[in-house]
């Protein structure tokens, strides 16, 4: 049996342990409840053991399992603290690393993409990877002209592995509902799978990255490394030396966390206008805080093409909601497709629903933290609440799916950072429709 089928079988076997383990824990939990153990104690134990196994298995895999784990990591701040605290380190590790592929395999990919004399392109190439992404790993090297570069090499068979992982992960929805009752993983998996072809072609990623690099050249807040060379399965970019955002979250000073949060907010609001693209993968592993205070942005495999920038209606509706114009908000949301024609929504109830969500825009400064994000997640997820009932009646138009996920993901990172940011001022400057 070749290496690729064997690895696929190993990956499938590891993922298969997840529902089996969950079923066993659920059965044991039922037995304990029948034996008189309080339900909340049983649930807490099932949640802890489920999270333990889940993060352990995801952390051992590449492909779709790792990509999903990275996407999940940005909402860790919304999980109950009893779950989030013990596994925060595991999620951070998942953002930054995964088991490397053998050196011989790396060399085979480089030969296939650059030719047998690939070493002539480099003055030095480090065989030991510095980081691992979901579909490739990164090596530090020195380009022939002397520049330090990052060489991202795609894992052989990454496409089939991604498709297989997404199929299997889709069967695990019940497990994730145990960790967070309001967490529906199926739309996230569908979106990740839909963008699979784009992420597997590093030439497309190179185009997106260079568009951002050109747009932010000389910027005081954001740094994007230039592309040096690219093929379908190898991407060479300028090397970035900085502090991983995950490390800033864990041990950064308040000034560093606020600075990173401000830069991240500016990048969220300004990217579509300046580059015509939205960076659609906002997890901490894709950012570095540089010594000069700028935020370096990495990994442009997932982007949303927005040649006209963010929709003007987005800023307009936020402004109307802050002004308390409930009927205008309802009419605007209906016009944009958030409220279908056959759905009846009371304007006042709509403002009650939206008010806490746009709280960062209501104050001169807003401090993001885990308690705020967790409270919002619980408010919307509680099936008994009027808020959850209203949320279920709202529709998310296709053109807003990625914008919504990136915004929520960015808020998740800001909440992990605990950043205090003058979000309203940034919206006035950068968010179309907000100040008019």
State the pLDDT at residue 226: 98
CA-CA-CA-CA torsion for 55, 61, 63, 69, nearest 10 degrees? 10
Cα 40–Cα 41–Cα 46 angle in degrees, nearest 5: 95
What DSSP assignment string belongs to 320-384? HHHHT-HHHHHHHHHHHTSS-TT----HHHHHHHHTGGGGGGTSSSEE--HHHHHHHHHHHH-TT
Burial of 350 (0-12, 13-18, 19+ CB in 10 A): buried
Angle between helices 254-275 and 401-417 (to 10 degrees): 160
200 token code pair: 């597997």
Q: How remote is the C-alpha of 28 from its chain's centroid? A: 34
Using the 8-state DSSP alphabet, how is residue 185 labeled?
H
Residue boundaries of the structural domains of the chain: 3-97+172-183, 103-158+197-238, 242-436
Return per-residue pLDDT of the chain as tens, 436 residues: 444 445 544 444 444 444 434 334 333 333 333 333 344 443 455 455 655 556 555 545 555 455 555 555 555 555 555 555 544 555 555 545 456 788 999 999 999 999 999 999 999 999 999 987 668 899 999 999 999 999 999 988 877 766 666 666 665 555 555 444 445 566 666 666 676 777 789 999 999 999 999 999 999 999 999 999 999 999 999 999 999 999 999 999 999 999 999 999 999 999 999 999 999 988 888 999 999 999 999 999 889 999 999 999 999 999 999 999 999 999 999 999 999 888 889 999 999 889 888 999 999 999 999 889 888 877 876 767 788 788 878 887 878 878 988 998 899 999 999 999 999 999 999 999 998 7
Q: Would you say the pTM of this structure is higher than 0.75?
A: yes
User: Are 50 and 22 spatial neighbours (Cβ–Cβ below 8 Å)?
Assistant: yes
State the pLDDT at residue 224: 98
Q: How many helices (H) and strands (E) does the chain have?
A: 19, 14
Q: 103-158+197-238: CATH homologous superfamily?
A: Phosphorylase Kinase; domain 1 (3.30.200.20)
Q: Which residues have CB under 8 Å from 344's CB, separation 6+?
A: none
Q: How remote is the C-alpha of 278 from its chain's centroid? A: 13
């Amino acid at each position: 049996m070749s290496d690729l089928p064997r690895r696929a079988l190993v990956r499938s076997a590891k993922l298969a342990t997840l529902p089996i383990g969950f079923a066993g824990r659920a059965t044991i939990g039922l037995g304990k409840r029948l034996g008189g153990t309080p339900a909340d104690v049983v649930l807490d134990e099932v949640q802890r053991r489920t999270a333990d196994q889940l993060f352990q298995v995801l952390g051992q895999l590449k492909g779709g399992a790792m990509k999903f784990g990275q996407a999940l990591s940005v909402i860790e701040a919304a999980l109950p603290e009893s779950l989030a605290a013990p596994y925060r380190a595991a999620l951070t590790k998942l953002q930054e690393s995964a088991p490397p592929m053998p050196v011989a395999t790396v060399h085979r990919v480089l030969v296939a993409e650059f030719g047998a004399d690939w070493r002539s392109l480099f003055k030095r190439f480090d065989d030991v990877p510095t980081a691992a992404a979901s579909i490739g790993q990164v090596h530090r090297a020195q380009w022939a002209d002397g520049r330090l570069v990052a060489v991202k090499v795609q894992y052989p068979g990454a496409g089939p592995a991604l498709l297989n992982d997404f199929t299997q992960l889709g069967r695990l929805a019940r497990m994730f509902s145990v960790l967070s009752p309001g967490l529906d993983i199926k739309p996230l998996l569908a979106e990740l799978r839909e963008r699979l072809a784009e992420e597997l072609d590093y030439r497309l990623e190179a185009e997106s990255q260079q568009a951002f690099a050109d747009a932010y050249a000389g910027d005081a807040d954001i740094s994007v490394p230039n592309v040096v060379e690219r093929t379908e399965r190898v991407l060479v970019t300028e090397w970035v030396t900085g502090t991983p955002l995950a490390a800033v979250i864990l041990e950064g000073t308040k000034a560093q966390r606020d600075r990173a949060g401000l830069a991240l907010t500016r990048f969220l609001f300004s990217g579509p206008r300046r580059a015509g693209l939205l960076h659609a993968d906002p997890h901490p592993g894709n950012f570095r805080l540089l010594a000069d205070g700028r935020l370096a942005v990495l990994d442009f495999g997932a982007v949303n093409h927005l040649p006209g920038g963010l929709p003007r209606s987005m800023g307009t509706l936020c402004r109307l909601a802050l002004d308390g114009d409930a009927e205008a908000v309802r009419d605007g949301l209906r016009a944009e497709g958030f409220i279908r024609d056959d759905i009846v929504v009371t304007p006042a109830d709509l403002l009650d629903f939206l008010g806490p969500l746009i709280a960062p825009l209501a104050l001169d400064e807003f401090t993001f933290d885990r308690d705020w994000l967790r409270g919002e997640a619980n408010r919307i997820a509680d099936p008994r609440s009027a808020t959850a009932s209203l949320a279920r009646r709202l529709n998310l138009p296709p053109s807003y799916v990625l914008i919504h996920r990136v915004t929520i993901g960015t808020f998740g990172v800001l909440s992990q950072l605990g950043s205090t940011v003058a979000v309203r001022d940034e919206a006035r400057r950068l968010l179309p429709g907000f100040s008019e």
